[in-house]
Amino acid sequence: MVVVSRLSGLGPSDMREHTAELLAEAKAGSGAARVPYPIGIRELVVLRTAWLTQALVRLTLGGPGIDGFRSHAPEEHVRLIFPDEGGELRLPERDGNMLRWPRPMPISREYTVRRHDPASGELDVDVAVHPGGVASDWAVAVEPGERIHVAGPPGGFVVPGHYDRYLLAGDLTALPQIARYLEELPRTAAGWAFVEVRDAAEEIELAAPPGFTVRWVHHGDAPAGTGDDLERAVRSVVFPAGERPFVWIAGEAGAVKPLRRWVRDQGIPVGDFRIVGYWKRGVADFDDED
């Protein structure tokens, strides 16, 4: 199921009401659905940073620019925008409820909305640290008080809470979203969560519903995204006959590709699964949609 909606021509109050209606429809719907949001651009302040593990750093953003920010679903992303090689910061411009981006595209990177607290005016973004990454290097070095421009989220992928089982799987880059899914699913939800990390030092506490089996998959010294450990772990799942599962898998594009066929071979229809390449070895700012 895909929710399609025109964003143009609606004022702020009408847009909020329209979005609320679409979200309610998606959450009560028969399958997963995309819900578009009005896309904002804002300058935020780095309030604090915290190392969750040796490979995952959390940025807490806020300040006056956070006013009006909204988050509605676990699968949402924002885009952090950086100056180009010459130091010039080129920003998109508001165009109604959308953004008009300059060409060529500015240097930017997408990250999951890990947490948004409207009461405190805080937005958390968890960054997987890797050498040579524009956003990764910035996240490691940034100090509280520094500023960053943030675009989005452009919408959310809403998964109803009435599936019989959920299968969530991914590597370190997918961990923030898996963590948020596990927090926001109904406490009666059941299923499996597989997360591939280097070793036990990269594991974090997950607030999974009691009916979930959580398994950490260690790739050890092998470079991330090069092995089939996560694929083999996912393939071990046996879906109970007569139940309707939802499957969400994300990670290195080549590593998750074989699982698309496996999911289809299980008889899971389009609309009941989402498999996304979050990154691709050797490619900067890779963007893949299932």
* Measured distance CA(204)–CA(206) in Å, rounded: 6
Provide the CATH number for the domain formed by 160-279 in this structure.
3.40.50.80
* Measured distance CA(99)–CA(34) in Å, rounded: 18
Q: Would the pTM of this model clear 0.85, i.e. be above it?
A: yes
User: Which residues have C-beta within 8 Å of that of residue 15, sequence separation ≥ 6?
Assistant: 7, 38, 97
Q: CA torsion, points 128, 283, 84, 59, in degrees to nearest 10?
A: -10
Which residue ranges does the chain devote to CATH 2.40.30.10?
Answer: 28-156
Say what the pLDDT of residue 290 is.
Answer: 41
Q: In a structure prediction context, what are the per-residue pLDDT tens digits for the chain, which is 290 residues long? A: 444 445 555 555 667 788 889 999 999 998 999 999 999 999 999 999 999 999 999 999 999 999 999 999 999 999 999 999 999 999 999 998 899 999 999 999 999 999 999 999 999 999 999 888 899 999 999 999 999 999 999 999 999 999 999 999 999 999 999 999 999 999 999 999 999 999 999 999 999 999 999 999 999 999 999 999 999 999 999 999 999 999 999 999 999 999 999 999 999 999 999 999 998 887 776 666 54
Nearest to 115, CA basis, from 165, 76, 168: 76
Say what the pLDDT of residue 131 is.
Answer: 84
Say what the pLDDT of residue 3 is.
Answer: 46
Listed in sequence order, the DSSP H helices in 213-269 are 229-235, 253-265
Over its C-alpha atoms, the chain yields an Rg (Å, rounded) of 19
Say what the pLDDT of residue 204 is.
Answer: 98
Query: Quick one: DSSP state of residue 129?
Result: -
Q: What is the DSSP string of 45-74?
A: EEEEEEEEETTEEEEEEESGGGTT----SS
Which residue ranges does the chain devote to CATH 3.40.50.80?
Answer: 160-279
Provide the CATH number for the domain formed by 28-156 in this structure.
2.40.30.10
Say what the pLDDT of residue 234 is.
Answer: 98
